[in-house]
A = this chain, B = another copy of it.
């Protein structure tokens, strides 16, 4: 029996909430990646949104770069454990671009104000393209959580 006291969100509202987290300035995303051998890596990474894909910036020697190069499927998570935006994504850039901090790649169009932190001048910009996005809070909110399927928004 559905609990009518629990306000669940429409698909449109969930998409808007996902985009709000994706475009937030100076926000981080949890990036889960794995080698083909199954070794898991999971770290917070600076990110932005270029309109259709997530753009994350990390150091060229990071395990995330090694993993995503060997295995382009990643899982990204934004938000808290009880306010989740979960993204299954696949790397769309063929080769990660390595470039100085002040020369961001053309066409990525990061959000204004995006200034990924780094300890040195070099970045790898990785561009995972979302295939599936789910948005939920608590168990009551699980039904209807899918806002993107096979790379297409459902609204």
By a CB distance below 8 angstroms, the chain B residues around A44 are: 81-82, 84
A86 near B: Cβ within 8 Å? yes
Q: Which of A13-59 contact B (CB under 8 A)?
A: 27-30, 32-44
CA distance A135 to B39 in the complex (A): 21
A139 within 8 A of B: yes
Q: List the B side residues contacting A86 at CB < 8 Å.
A: 42-43
Q: Does A73 touch B at the CB level, under 8 Å?
A: yes
Interface residues of A in 91-127 (CB under 8 A from B): 117, 119
What is the count of identical protomers in the complex?
Answer: 2
Nearest chain-B residue to A70 (Cβ)? B38
A148 in contact (CB, < 8 A)? no
User: Which range holds the interface residue count of chain A?
Assistant: 20 to 34
In the complex, which residue of chain B has the Cβ closest to the Cβ of A33? B40
Closest residue of chain B to A136 (Cβ to Cβ) is B44
Q: Which of A49-94 contact B (CB under 8 A)?
A: 71, 73-75, 77, 80-82, 84, 86
Return A142 CB to nearest CB of chain B, in Å. 9
Q: Which residues does A use to contact B, with CB under 8 Å?
A: 27-30, 32-44, 71, 73-75, 77, 80-82, 84, 86, 117, 119, 139
